[in-house]
């Protein structure tokens, strides 16, 4: 007697489902794995098409851009064309990095430059616009002025459907010159949650002597993005509590993160057998290798959704 076709289909679905959802087997298609394109900046500038394809083939499906200087082009392409390229390769653009220093003498000009940047990011389809650094004196007065500026620019960003963010380095975890307040904490507590969020760089936070997990617990709604970073390849140094960081971030209801890989000094100084220093092309290849190994680390980590 022949087995009914509907029964065969049920058996097939059951077997496939059992394999796909077996504990310990991750479904890469369901994971959002982001990367800051600054990690392979030289390659992105030279050949964005090949570079985007190479990163998405590794498993990256979310990008954070670098939009320095207000250039209307995105790695030499129009915002629409770059977005189309990313979509074709299966990646979304979630954020960008750029900054314009406050200058009261050029208030209107600076506002217009911000609006141009926000237009570009809106065209790319991103939802965050992150200031990666800002020059400020570590006094209460200057820091409050910075907070006011962030609130002002964040309100303009909201007109474009964007959330303004601030990205830290290690220096933000110092105390102010005239107060026991920690700079980064002051920024969080004196900016408007409606218009300003924070992208916590977990590596620099750790280097600054603070705990990323502690801050994720203390400010669960303000930290909306993460920079996932290590000395070079993720997980290799053993100094960053990535499991604790991811678990708390997800517990906070957040999901957006990007890997950032910076060229370490030892790679800049690395030499070939003939004594010559690594070329820019060789360094770029090492950066892609680190990106691939970092993606593999995330894909095999049970704590990464």
Mean pLDDT computed over 12-20: 39
Contact by Cβ (8 Å): 225, 260: no
Q: What is the pTM of this model?
A: 0.89
Please give the structure tokens belonging to residue 79: 């915002």
Mean pLDDT computed over 97-116: 94
Mean pLDDT computed over 203-209: 98
Mean pLDDT computed over 103-119: 95
> Domain 34-300 belongs to what architecture?
Alpha-Beta Barrel (3.20)
Mean pLDDT computed over 108-132: 95
Which residue(s) pair with 34 in the sheet?
62, 258
Hey, how many other C-beta atoms are within 10 angstroms of the C-beta on 115? 14
Q: What is the pLDDT of residue 23?
A: 39
pLDDT of 6 strictly over 90: no
* Highest-confidence segment of 17-26, 51-60, 72-81: 51-60
Q: Provide the mean pLDDT of the chain.
A: 91
> Domain-by-domain residue ranges, the chain?
34-300
Q: What is the pLDDT of residue 36?
A: 98
Mean pLDDT computed over 113-140: 95
Angle at 127 between CA 136 and CA 206, to 5 degrees: 50
Angle at 271 between CA 269 and CA 274, to 5 degrees: 155
Mean pLDDT computed over 134-146: 97
Give the list of residues 6+ apart from residue 111 with CB closer than 8 angstroms, or none.
156
Q: What is the pLDDT of residue 67?
A: 83
Contact by Cβ (8 Å): 249, 213: no
Contact by Cβ (8 Å): 108, 114: no
Q: What is the pLDDT of residue 71?
A: 75
Mean pLDDT computed over 42-50: 97
Q: What is the pLDDT of residues 20-31, one digit of tens each?
A: 333 333 444 578
Q: What is the pLDDT of residues 160-200, one digit of tens each?
A: 999 999 999 999 999 999 999 999 999 999 999 999 999 99
DSSP the chain: -PPPHHHHHHHHHHHHHHHHTSTT---GGG---EEEGGGGHHHHHH-HHHHHHHHHHHT--EEEEE-GGG-SSBTTB-HHHHHHHHHHTT-EEEEEE------GGGHHHHHHHHHHHHHHHHHHT-SEEEE------SSHHHHHHHHHHHHHHHHHHHHTT-EEEEE--GGGGSBPTTSS-BHHHHHHHTS-TTTEEEEEEHHHHHHTT--HHHHHHHSTTTEEEEEE--SSSTTSSS-S-HHHHHHHHHHTT---EEE-----HHHHT-B-TTSPBPPHHHHHHHHHHHHHHHHHHHHH-TT--
Mean pLDDT computed over 34-59: 98
């Amino acid at each position: 007697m022949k087995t009914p076709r509907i029964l065969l289909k049920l058996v097939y679905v059951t077997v496939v489902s059992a394999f796909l959802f077996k504990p310990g087997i991750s479904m890469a298609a369901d994971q959002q794995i982001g990367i800051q394109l600054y990690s392979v900046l030289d390659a992105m500038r030279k050949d964005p098409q090949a570079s985007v394809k190479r990163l998405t083939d590794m498993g990256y499906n979310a990008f954070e851009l670098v939009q320095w200087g207000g250039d209307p082009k995105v790695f030499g392409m129009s915002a629409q064309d770059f977005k189309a390229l990313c979509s074709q390769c299966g990646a979304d653009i979630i954020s960008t990095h750029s900054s314009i220093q406050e200058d009261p003498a050029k208030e209107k000009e600076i506002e217009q430059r911000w609006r141009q940047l926000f237009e570009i990011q809106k065209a790319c389809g991103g939802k965050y616009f992150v200031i990666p650094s800002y020059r400020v004196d570590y006094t209460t007065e200057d820091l409050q002025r910075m907070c006011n500026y962030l609130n002002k620019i964040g309100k303009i960003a909201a007109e474009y459907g964007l959330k303004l963010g601030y990205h830290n380095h290690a220096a933000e975890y110092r105390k102010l010159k005239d107060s026991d307040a920690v700079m980064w904490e002051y920024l969080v507590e004196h900016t408007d949650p409606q218009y300003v969020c924070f992208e916590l760089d977990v590596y620099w936070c750790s280097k600054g002597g603070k705990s990323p997990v502690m801050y994720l617990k203390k400010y669960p709604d303000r930290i909306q993005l993460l920079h996932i970073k290590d000395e070079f390849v993720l997980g290799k140094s053993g100094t960053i509590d990535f499991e604790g960081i991811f678990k708390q971030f997800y517990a906070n209801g957040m999901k957006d993160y990007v890997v950032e890989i910076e060229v370490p000094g030892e790679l800049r100084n690395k030499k070939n057998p003939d004594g010559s220093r690594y070329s820019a092309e060789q360094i770029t290849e090492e950066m892609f290798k680190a990106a691939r190994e970092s993606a593999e680390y995330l894909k095999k980590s049970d704590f990464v959704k």
